[in-house]
A and B are shown apart, each in its own frame.
Chain A
């Protein structure tokens, strides 16, 4: 089973290297094929690995495979090793499968861009990094994958690097993730000292023996990394800006895969979090806060991609909520269905943006239902799946999360359930606001000069080439039926599969599931009705100007962080330069020799002679010394 997993890991790396090394010897289209085929090859490898696992005895579904010792120091040995178990196999399938579809879609979407080759090299690099993240067999290698997906994300957000906004967004994402990486690394350092080994089995076996303080700190450090990568409050502000990247990038990295890595981490490191229950609950609470805040902000955004980006944050909030209360299988289940329907929404949005020559403002869209019938259907399926309407994918997974909160009970469970239910109302409202604004109403004239980041695209006629339509079609089907892998009261193959790795702390009964489902669907439909009513009257969902401004400015998080971190750092740097470096350090020698504070040009000239003679003197002195020593001998 490890052979398939190694193949799965290395195929995209080989693709990326091949494209990079071939350079201009291949065309952009060929690069696209290399990238697409290697990603699907990775999917094939993942499938082989999965089938091997499936055939194996349940207790033997875990295999660690080490290629060589990557880092060694003192007693520490860290191998380049992968772990194949039900959780990593599921993630491999999701990443390479959805990844393959999106890379394929990119071939149509990016056709004609001057730097297609660079794009596909980066995409393959990302797929490799993400697979490394989910396959890594020890915590340090997990951190390596963690950092490399951040790198790929930086490269792809800033892909159109002539745009200042794209560059700024890329830097912001990288720095914020570097902060998360730093806390993650501190947690790993603690593990090195406390457990002496970093591979999952040893670390998790030793967790019980650690003091509460240590476990809490480790859990907090890992949580910092998870919050940054998954764009959860308070480290969430980079994700909306990341929409400066090409739309398929948003679909793959900033919706379907990378941003859900935090959820994977919470599930993978569940023994740590179970030993530090407070931190685990903190993750759930932060998830609930994020799902509400992002849902609210999504109500007032104008940019089609930003609405979907906020909805991504909100949906990952649900996953954090689930992982934070110990409903691991359910969290990963929602991760998977979300990957389907969110990738679908982004790719469908990409078709719309293509059709409108790069226009992204929903105020200048409308009435596209007739023009883009297939895209309309796909988008509608995606929207309904996002809103959690039966029988689409999001319905099954989101309601399982709500039911788990109900099962948890107590004050925390009640609060989380309330937040989750309120979230479904918000989701229904913002999702259908977007849908109506884009596909219903009057068709607007194109702005004379579209100015979005993707304005370079010429308006397409029809709905794009096959390479775009087929992935959208496949994802539409997956978003429609993907949720059937777990039907309350009937069967739960997916959650049980993941449960082999991370046994859930809460398991809702079928009655609880149907109860919460009824409430959630009612609320989502209420949201839909509100959105429709507002749309028909030509009004917005948030009517209060003050609230509107507050939400439109994203609750002023950017301004807050600017004032809290960037400005103080810049000010400190300027202060040190002005007060220490220039007066004290750089002028430290001004007084020497001349006895004055200023070194004038005249003095400098005198000294210039001095320098050479000085050097000569030293050279001569050394020579003399050598001669003397030799002679004395």
Chain B
């Protein structure tokens, strides 16, 4: 039941926020409260979840369209519960930031944000392909509008590219869903058997590759991450991208064992290419968002590498890294937004010297940055190490590329930190630009605390993500 609650609560909140003509602040405050309540419900869900068991829990299954074999089936595995946790936490941070900034037309804005959270959670909980498809699409609608209406100066172009890319992926996936359902006689992942059809698999794989994004399906990424309101960019890179991870873990690997085996070299190659390509571009990107955007792409390549290494180390690493990256990417995007608010620009050449007199900003950017570059001891380090170890199982070259990624990450993150904080004051940095305000701290500190907590005990996620703590076997057995 809790899965349904987690899905319905933000959707109901969205409706409430959209319909009740409350004053601006009250609207945003109400939305933020709903988002916090959602986090509370998720915490209850974690306490109820039996991680030793690890199989599908907290779920509901109802017939929906019996004649077509469509059901409303939701529930969580360990890994999807962690992904959903990242989603609700980041969603709450985003709602809080929108409240702090005071977005225009708050009713529409906050309703869309809540709707987005609900859709993301539904995606992570879906056990029926039609439901999965609907949720997957439902994530996109608020994103289109949020970027297209509240975005930066080039929001139109950003939305257009985003729409075309994601719709292309979605149409392929829709075709795949239908084809799969027709051949299997059911859309339920809990009832359907495995499929050996490579074309159906490719339909899913392309949609996920666009969503992640993997190289070369990332054409929408630079513009969307640059033009979106910063908290939307945070949700996009932190959470929405993880829909691809969930798709790979819940659909691709358990349902399409043979096509996956055949196409693993291709997917590994794309993942590795994304890792290196994103890192190299991040290293010379001219602005803050460019660095965070391309680094996010690199991280998704890394996570995908762990997934398709298809061994215990890689899979556990991929889940751990997904959660860690969600938290770190959200923190980085929010910090970028806070810098942009003070300086009106994210151009590296115009920034600098902000550490002087702004200890909170300096400390938090430093901590988030160090976790982003996976300093040994951090949760991201633990995740990257496991992925590196997993990738080694597919060939030493992949492990070496992960190692290269670590060095490149050090280069681009240090570049970002120094460009904002160090040396003399940049042209766009006013002397009187304030340190982080209490409201901003109240949003960032919990995120950073989650990161540090996860760094102190990454095993919390990595050993409780799959049934029986045997990821590869659980997936081979179709997560039953």
Contacts and interface: CB of A to CB of B under 8 A. Distances in A.
Interface in B451-480: 457-459, 462-463, 469-472
B144 interface: yes
B309 to A, nearest CB: 11
Contacts of B191: none
Interface string A614-633: 11001100100110010011
Nearest to A186: B403
A577 interface: yes
Nearest to A626: B134
Say whether chain A's binding surface is mostly helix, strand, loop, or mixed.
helix
Interface string B351-367: 00101100100010010
B37 interface: no
B258 interface: no
A451 interface: no
Given A589-B160, A614-B163, A570 B316 contact: no
B338 to A, nearest CB: 19
Interface stretch (B7-15, B64-72, B260-268): B64-72
Contact of A576 (B281, B320, B457): B281
A632 B65 contact: yes
A622 B281 contact: no
A595 to B, nearest CB: 15
A588 B356 CA distance: 43
A337 B443 CA distance: 49
Contacts of B70: 629
A588 to B, nearest CB: 5
A196 to B, nearest CB: 11
B385 A622 contact: no
B65 A633 contact: yes
B148 interface: yes
Contacts of A68: 457
B462 A178 contact: no
B392 A193 contact: yes
Contacts of B458: 70-71
Contacts of A167: 418, 422-423
A21 to B, nearest CB: 11
Given A586-B222, A629-B65, A74 B141 contact: no
A161 interface: yes
Contacts of A632: 65, 67-68
A181 interface: yes
B423 A585 contact: no
B284 interface: yes
A437 to B, nearest CB: 32
Given A162-B353, A589-B164, A71 B462 contact: yes
B316 A611 contact: no
A193 B389 contact: yes
A179 interface: yes
Given A178-B406, A607-B156, A161 B355 contact: yes
A186 B399 contact: yes
A181 B406 contact: yes
A164 B313 CA distance: 41
A144 B313 contact: no
Interface string A62-80: 0000001111111110000
A190 B392 contact: yes
B317 interface: yes
Contacts of A574: 284
Given A144-B381, A182-B406, A604 B157 contact: yes
Contact of B462 (A72, A192, A576, A580): A72
Nearest to A168: B418
B423 A74 contact: no
B239 to A, nearest CB: 20
A153 to B, nearest CB: 12
Candidate in B130, B218, B366, B381 with the most chain A CB atoms within 10 angstroms: B381
Contacts of A190: 392
A75 B145 contact: no
B473 to A, nearest CB: 10
Interface string B294-319: 00000000000000000111001100
A510 to B, nearest CB: 43
A185 B312 contact: no
Nearest to A179: B407
A143 interface: yes
Interface string B259-298: 0000000000000000001001101100000000000000
B88 interface: no
B277 A576 contact: yes
Interface in A138-188: 140, 143-148, 150-151, 154-155, 158, 161-164, 167, 171, 174-175, 178-179, 181-183, 185-186, 188
Contact of A625 (B134, B375, B388): B134
B370 A151 contact: yes
Nearest to B290: A577
A599 B161 CA distance: 12
A608 interface: yes
A611 B148 contact: yes
A563 interface: no
A78 to B, nearest CB: 8
B404 A140 contact: no
A193 B314 CA distance: 12
Given A70-B457, A622-B138, A161 B375 contact: no
A570 B412 CA distance: 11
Contacts of B381: 144, 147
A373 interface: no
Contacts of A569: 280, 283, 408, 411
A113 interface: no
B414 interface: yes
B140 interface: yes
A451 to B, nearest CB: 16
B219 A161 contact: no
A581 interface: yes
A175 B160 contact: no
A452 interface: no
A185 B164 contact: no
B65 A611 contact: no
A104 to B, nearest CB: 25
B234 interface: no
Nearest to B377: A144
Contacts of A20: 363
A161 B419 CA distance: 11
| A-B CB proximity, top 10 nearest | A147-B376, A74-B312, A73-B316, A72-B463, A573-B284, A182-B403, A178-B410, A144-B377, A161-B422, A72-B459
Interface of B: 63-68, 70, 130, 134, 137-138, 140-141, 144-145, 148, 156-157, 159-161, 163-165, 216, 218-219, 222-223, 277, 280-281, 283-284, 311-313, 316-317, 320, 353, 355-356, 359, 363, 366, 370, 373, 375-377, 381-382, 385-386, 388-389, 392-393, 399-400, 403-404, 406-408, 410-411, 414-415, 418, 421-424, 457-459, 462-463, 469-472
19 contacts: A20-B363, A68-B457, A72-B459, A74-B471, A147-B375, A147-B376, A161-B355, A162-B353, A178-B407, A181-B406, A182-B406, A185-B406, A186-B400, A604-B156, A604-B157, A611-B159, A611-B163, A619-B141, A622-B141
Given A175-B410, A614-B144, 15 more contacts: A71-B382, A71-B458, A73-B316, A73-B320, A162-B353, A174-B414, A186-B403, A188-B385, A192-B313, A193-B389, A573-B281, A574-B284, A576-B280, A588-B219, A589-B165
